[in-house]
């Protein structure tokens, strides 16, 4: 690992930076009006950072170099990389390669053809966080692994499409898990989506696998992430000794995509799109066009 990258003094830090972690658990966050405008902006910045790092993915490029590209984009757009200094996390993005499920730390290993890498970006700007990730293929990838990546992308959009006012939060898992299982994939438990806004990780916890018990009913204005991790083999996982890197027990690949979304009066809006309306994750129009 290289040293943490510096952020100019003029860019505002989230409150947990320089502390052991965020203060206490946070409740459900709702946004409207100018609050929602700020969240849309943070989401757009995150989407742009993700596009910049994604464009740099190639054989021979290290995940630390991806961190550098992302870092420069956050700073150019006036944003703080939310993960940098979050509970001691040392880098500006997470890079999760092959069997890494999530929270991989960028390092000096060059990517090789056949790898897949999830790049997870969170931008803090104007007092709120936007969180988005995508899995990229490196050179030629074997067909089952390329399939895992594309199916995880579609599963993420199917989960988002299930969101709407009056729906249970569990509708997300009910859309994702049967789709994954139908394609011979498993859904990772324990790690999930989260409420987001001024607080990075807040209620509700978003399960992507179906769980027993009641979940909240969604109301307009509620903001959270949808970020399923799907695995080619077992979804059982363990942690590296660095206390961050989550890997599959069988070391078979895992893929993940993530958007930040808001429940609207009549459905859902994806907040992590570039100002031109683009994302490495895609959006719901592609689903309607028949990606199902």
What is the Cα–Cα distance from 98 to 248, expressed in whole angstroms?
9
Is residue 131 part of the contact set for ligand MF3 (CB under 6 A)? Answer: yes
Minimum CB separation from ligand MF3 for residue 201, in Å? 6
C-beta closer to ligand MF3: residue 185 or 196: 196
For residues 245 and 90, the answer to whether their CB atoms sit within 8 Å is: no
CB 223 within 8 A of CB 195: yes
Size of the site for Co ion (CB under 5 A): 5
Whole-number Å distance between alpha carbons of 36 and 126:
11
Cβ distance to Co ion smaller for residue 228 or 253: 228
Q: Which stretch, 24-32, 104-112, 128-136, 241-249, contacts Co ion (CB under 5 A)?
A: 128-136
Contacted entry of ligand MF3, Co ion, none for residue 89, CB cut-off 5 to 8 Å set by kind? ligand MF3
Q: How far is the CB of 93 from ligand MF3 (least distance, A)?
A: 8
Per CB under 5 A, which of residues 131..160 are in contact with Co ion?
131, 133
Distances (CA, A) of 144 to 101, 176, 177: 17, 19, 18
Contact, 229 vs 98, CB < 8 A?
no
Using CA atoms, how far apart are residues 155 and 175, in angstroms rounded to an integer?
Answer: 8
CA distance 248 to 114: 18
Our finding on whether 86 is near Co ion (CB under 5 A) is: no
* ω into 26 cis (within 30 of 0): no
The alpha-carbon radius of gyration of the chain (Å, integer) is 17
118 by DSSP, 3-state: which?
strand
Among 116, 113, 122, which Cα is nearest to 17's?
122
Q: Do residues 223 and 197 lie in contact, with contact meaning Cβ atoms separated by under 8 Å?
A: yes
Residue (1 or 181) nearer to ligand MF3, CB: 1
> Does residue 103 belong to the site contacting ligand MF3 (CB under 6 A)?
yes
- Please tell me whether residue 122 binds ligand MF3 under the rule CB under 6 A: yes
3-state secondary structure of 65: helix
Query: In the range 79-98, which residues lie near ligand MF3 by CB under 6 A?
Result: 83, 86, 89, 94
Query: What residues numbered 35-64 form the site for ligand MF3, per CB under 6 A?
Result: none
Alpha carbons 197 and 205: distance in angstroms, whole number: 14
Yes or no: say if 92 and 70 are a contact pair by the CB < 8 Å rule: yes
Among 225, 235, 254, 279, binds Co ion (CB under 5 A): 225
Minimum distance of ligand MF3 from residue 156's CB (angstroms): 12
Choose which of 65, 120, 186, 269 interacts with Co ion (CB under 5 A): 120
Region binding Co ion by CB under 5 A among candidate stretches 72-80, 97-105, 221-229, 274-282: 221-229
Binding mask 231-260 for ligand MF3 (x = CB under 6 A): -------------x-------------x--
Is the CB of 112 or the CB of 224 nearer to Co ion?
Answer: 224
Q: Which residues bind ligand MF3 (CB under 6 A)?
A: 83, 86, 89, 94, 103, 120, 122, 131, 227, 244, 258
């Amino acid at each position: 690992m290289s040293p943490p990258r510096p952020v100019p003094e003029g860019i505002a830090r989230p409150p947990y930076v320089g502390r052991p972690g965020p203060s206490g658990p946070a409740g459900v966050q709702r946004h409207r009006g100018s609050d929602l405008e700020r969240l849309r902006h943070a989401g757009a910045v995150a989407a742009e950072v993700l596009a910049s790092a994604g464009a740099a993915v190639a054989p021979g490029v290290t995940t630390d170099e991806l961190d550098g590209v992302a870092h420069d984009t956050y700073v150019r757009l006036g944003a703080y990389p939310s993960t940098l200094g979050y509970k001691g996390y040392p880098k500006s993005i997470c890079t999760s390669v092959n069997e890494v499920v999530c929270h991989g730390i960028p390092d000096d290993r060059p990517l090789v053809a056949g790898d897949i890498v999830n790049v997870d970006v969170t931008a803090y700007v104007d007092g709120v966080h936007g969180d988005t990730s995508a899995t990229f293929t490196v050179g030629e990838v074997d067909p089952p692994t390329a399939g895992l990546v594309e199916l995880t992308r579609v599963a993420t959009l199917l989960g988002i499409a299930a969101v709407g006012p009056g729906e249970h939060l569990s509708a997300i898992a009910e859309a994702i898990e049967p789709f994954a299982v139908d394609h011979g994939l498993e859904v990772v438990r324990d790690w999930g989506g989260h409420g987001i806004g001024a607080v990075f990780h807040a209620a509700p916890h978003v399960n992507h696998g179906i769980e027993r018990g009641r979940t909240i009913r969604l109301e307009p204005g509620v903001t959270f992430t949808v970020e399923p991790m799907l695995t080619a083999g077992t979804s059982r996982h363990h942690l590296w000794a660095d206390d961050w890197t989550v890997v599959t027990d069988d070391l078979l690949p895992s893929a993940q995509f993530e958007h930040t979304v808001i429940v609207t009066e009549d459905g859902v809006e994806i907040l992590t799109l570039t100002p031109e309306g683009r994302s490495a994750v895609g959006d719901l129009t592609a689903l309607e066009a028949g990606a199902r």
